[in-house]
Chain A
Amino acid sequence: MMIRESAASMAAALASKEISAVDLANQHYDQITAVDKDVHAFLYLDKEGALAHAAEVDKKRAAGEKLSPLAGVPLALKDVLTQKGIPTTCGSKILEGWRPPYDSTVVTKLKSAGIVILGKTNMDEFAMGSSTENSAFGPTKNPWDLTRIPGGSGGGSSASLAAYEAPLAIGTDTGGSIRQPAAVTGTVGVKPTYGGVSRYGLVAFSSSLDQAGPCARSVLDTALLHQVIAGFDPKDSTSINQNVPDVVAAAKKQDIKGMKIGVVKQLSGNGYQKGVENKFKESLDELVKLGAEIVEVSCPNFEYALAAYYLIAPSECSSNLARFDSIRFGLRVGDDGSKSAEEVMNLTRAAGFGREVKRRIILGTYALSSGYYDAYYGSAQKVRTLIKRDFESAFTKCDVLVSPTAPTTAFKIGEKTNDPLAMYLNDIATIPVNMAGIGGMSLPCGLAEEDNLPVGFQIMSPAMKDDRMYLVGGALEATLNNKWGKPILDFAPNLAASK
């Protein structure tokens, strides 16, 4: 069995023909069969398509063709990216049964790298949430404790990694939806620089914030996947036409002597769980031992980031989600011949959208309406400028910034569903990165003493300097694994064996 190995080890075993891509995919499907009835990471499995693709990779390898480094390694895809002919729901009833007629650029890149897409993972509806509880198809459970949330919106992707259902996954991050799920499941996730990975075929939530990125169980595996999906795409008008930084070399380098690491003063204290802060501080000590210099930096406007985010993201979503109009794709309700297009639209959107999505569309409609635009959306955009300036000033004093990824460890399913504001607080440390369009990584830095659940360590880099996160993350991961004697996921309960 190879499912607990890293993607890099799987790739090496595939290259030396110790295992075939078909066998490797089947091992993962066996694990999915064994544990996913409890975890519910997947919304759809494309076993037939995945095994055919795996067989193709095996055939090419047998013929001696040159293959890309991750060829034959399986992956779990967040259900917000289109894959031709495969249901794409975004966790919403309004798209149930929709099969997109085209591949997203991320999927095109995965396919041409020979990566085997096992299926689509669960998420908060249209990526709005921090727990996957907003999925119309039921929540995903955290493999560390099935009564707890796996983070969100990309909880299906993070849980699939932690449950060894896939060694690689794709997430998307608008306010923390890659990093917070990584933090609470003891996995690694990266939100690349905005424009670093194409958004073509990523169903839009908040276009100026959305960014797809790689998720895995190690920093190196995340870098290998980052290298595959990043790069300029003429189909995305916000794609950056520059070379992708060498994130794989950075992940392997493990030398951070002399680097300046800034601790953001505002991302600690009130609201942060004691065990989270302790693990974060212990990790800072490790970075010092590795030769880095810690400096404290102040980003005073981060205090307003959450408020600004909950105006900007709903505003953009109210506009983006207007496309779900019951005309061109998706659900249509009440079309009995007696009702007008507008009535059918009203009924369809009422039936197709869940509570959180409706709440945000209506909030965004308000923030953009005349008379309130300047006070709400306009002010939020100004705060965005102030946050960008805070980052610019901080990065003159250090190479990367760090903080805890999330203020707490995984909370109980149902604990915050009736309090939107409490739920929004999960993203307090991750949102500033999206507002400024820079890079952010979360990697595990230990288990909180109160509950023995994983804590995430966030590293933030300036735009298009994504390699710096991998450099610091790779070094910290190596030293922590050494200290623990094994990777953090080895401390998690073994789901398959516990049955």
Chain B
Amino acid sequence: MSAISRDEVANLARLARISISDAELDHLATEMDVILGAVARVQEVAGKDVPPTSHPLDVSNVARDDQVVPSLTPSEALSGAPASDEQRFKVPQILGEE
């Protein structure tokens, strides 16, 4: 039995905002199944008593001094934008027609 179905992969692609063709989906669903089969072995070793490690360093909430330092100008910040207008990022419509 496969670990992941074609429909599930299609849904993941939708969640990840990647449009995907049917041919790509066929290929990816097969590959994902093989990869998941291989990585699932992480479940074999780690018992309930083992704490998770999310990060190699024990640091949290590092903050810098609250000083004003030079930052990007609006034109620098917008320099890579695909479209901009009056010092703003210009985006495609975000609300429906209705």
Q: Do these two chains really belong together in a complex? A: yes
**A-side interface residues toward B, CB under 8 Å?**
98-102, 194-195, 208, 234, 237-238, 240, 301, 304, 307-308, 310-311, 318, 322, 325-332, 335, 337, 339-347, 349-350, 353, 358-359, 361-363, 365-366, 369, 375-376, 378-386, 388, 420-421, 435-438, 463
Dominant SS among interface residues on chain A: helix
Checking A307, A330, A344, A380 against B80 with a beta-carbon cut-off of 8 angstroms, the contacting residue is A330
Instruction: Please report which residues of chain B, range 1-60, place their CB below 8 angstroms from some CB of chain A when the two chains form the complex.
Output: 4, 8-9, 12-13, 15-20, 28, 31-32, 34-36, 38-47, 50-57, 59
**Residue of A with least CB distance to B62:** A237
Task: Given the known inter-chain contacts A327-B89, A359-B31, A362-B9, please indicate yes or no for A332 contacting B42, CB distance below 8 A.
Answer: no
- The answer, yes or no, to whether B85 is at the interface (CB within 8 Å) is no
Name 25 A/B residue pairs within 8 A (Cβ), A-sorted.
Answer: A101-B76, A101-B77, A237-B59, A304-B41, A307-B39, A310-B38, A328-B89, A330-B80, A331-B82, A341-B91, A341-B94, A342-B17, A346-B19, A350-B18, A350-B19, A350-B20, A358-B13, A358-B28, A362-B32, A366-B32, A380-B42, A381-B53, A382-B50, A388-B56, A420-B34
**Residue of A with least CB distance to B94:** A341
Checking B9, B17, B46 against A386 with a beta-carbon cut-off of 8 angstroms, the contacting residue is B46
Task: Given the known inter-chain contacts A350-B18, A385-B51, A388-B53, please indicate yes or no for A366 contacting B41, CB distance below 8 A.
Answer: no
Checking B34, B52, B56 against A378 with a beta-carbon cut-off of 8 angstroms, the contacting residue is B52
The 3 closest A-B pairs by CB, nearest first: A437-B56, A382-B46, A329-B80
Task: Given the known inter-chain contacts A195-B57, A345-B17, A350-B18, please indicate yes or no for A363 contacting B42, CB distance below 8 A.
Answer: no
Contact A347 B19 (CB under 8 A): yes
Instruction: Provide the residues of chain A in CB contact with B47, threshold 8 Å.
Output: 382
Contact B32 A310 (CB under 8 A): no
| A423–chain B nearest beta-carbon distance, Å | 11
Q: How far is the CA of A437 from the CA of B58 in the complex (A)?
A: 11
Instruction: Provide the residues of chain A in CB contact with B45, threshold 8 Å.
Output: 301, 304, 382-383, 386
Contact B64 A381 (CB under 8 A): no
Instruction: Provide the residues of chain B in CB contact with A421, threshold 8 Å.
Output: 34-35, 38
Contact B82 A326 (CB under 8 A): yes
Contact B18 A353 (CB under 8 A): yes
- The answer, yes or no, to whether B79 is at the interface (CB within 8 Å) is yes
**Residue of A with least CB distance to B84:** A328
Contact A382 B39 (CB under 8 A): no
Task: Given the known inter-chain contacts A342-B17, A437-B56, please indicate yes or no for A379 contacting B42, CB distance below 8 A.
Answer: yes
Instruction: Provide the residues of chain A in CB contact with B81, threshold 8 Å.
Output: 327-329
Q: How far is the CA of A195 from the CA of B56 in the complex (A)?
A: 9
Q: How far is the CA of A327 from the CA of B96 in the complex (A)?
A: 18
Q: How far is the CA of A369 from the CA of B14 in the complex (A)?
A: 13
6 more CB-based (< 8 A) A-B contacts, given A327-B89, A343-B92, A349-B17: A101-B76, A194-B57, A307-B40, A329-B82, A362-B28, A380-B42
Contact A385 B18 (CB under 8 A): no
Contact B56 A310 (CB under 8 A): no
Instruction: Provide the residues of chain B in CB contact with A366, threshold 8 Å.
Output: 4, 8, 12, 32, 36
Interface string of B67-95 (1 = CB under 8 A from A): 00000100011011111000001011110
Q: How far is the CA of A349 from the CA of B54 in the complex (A)?
A: 27
Task: Given the known inter-chain contacts A307-B38, A311-B42, A340-B92, please indicate yes or no for A385 contacting B53, CB distance below 8 A.
Answer: yes
Checking A341, A382, A383 against B92 with a beta-carbon cut-off of 8 angstroms, the contacting residue is A341
Task: Given the known inter-chain contacts A301-B45, A335-B82, please indicate yes or no for A420 contacting B31, CB distance below 8 A.
Answer: yes
| B16–chain A nearest beta-carbon distance, Å | 5
**Residue of B with least CB distance to A383:** B42
**Residue of B with least CB distance to A364:** B16
Q: How far is the CA of A363 from the CA of B9 in the complex (A)?
A: 9
| A173–chain B nearest beta-carbon distance, Å | 13
Q: How far is the CA of A388 from the CA of B53 in the complex (A)?
A: 9
**Residue of A with least CB distance to B51:** A385
Checking B28, B40, B50, B57 against A359 with a beta-carbon cut-off of 8 angstroms, the contacting residue is B28
Instruction: Provide the residues of chain A in CB contact with B53, threshold 8 Å.
Output: 381-382, 384-385, 388
Q: How far is the CA of A301 from the CA of B76 in the complex (A)?
A: 48
Q: How far is the CA of A378 from the CA of B19 in the complex (A)?
A: 28
| B60–chain A nearest beta-carbon distance, Å | 9
Contact A362 B18 (CB under 8 A): yes
Q: How far is the CA of A349 from the CA of B15 in the complex (A)?
A: 12
Q: How far is the CA of A301 from the CA of B94 in the complex (A)?
A: 48
Instruction: Provide the residues of chain A in CB contact with B42, threshold 8 Å.
Output: 304, 307-308, 311, 376, 379-380, 382-383
Instruction: Provide the residues of chain A in CB contact with B36, threshold 8 Å.
Output: 363, 366
Instruction: Provide the residues of chain A in CB contact with B62, threshold 8 Å.
Output: 237-238
| B44–chain A nearest beta-carbon distance, Å | 7
Q: How far is the CA of A46 from the CA of B28 in the complex (A)?
A: 38
**Residue of A with least CB distance to B78:** A328
Instruction: Provide the residues of chain B in CB contact with A344, threshold 8 Å.
Output: 92
Contact B41 A363 (CB under 8 A): no
Q: How far is the CA of A301 from the CA of B42 in the complex (A)?
A: 10
Instruction: Provide the residues of chain B in CB contact with A339, threshold 8 Å.
Output: 92-93
Q: How far is the CA of A349 from the CA of B17 in the complex (A)?
A: 7
Instruction: Provide the residues of chain B in CB contact with A322, threshold 8 Å.
Output: 17
Task: Given the known inter-chain contacts A327-B89, A359-B28, A365-B16, please indicate yes or no for A240 contacting B94, CB distance below 8 A.
Answer: no
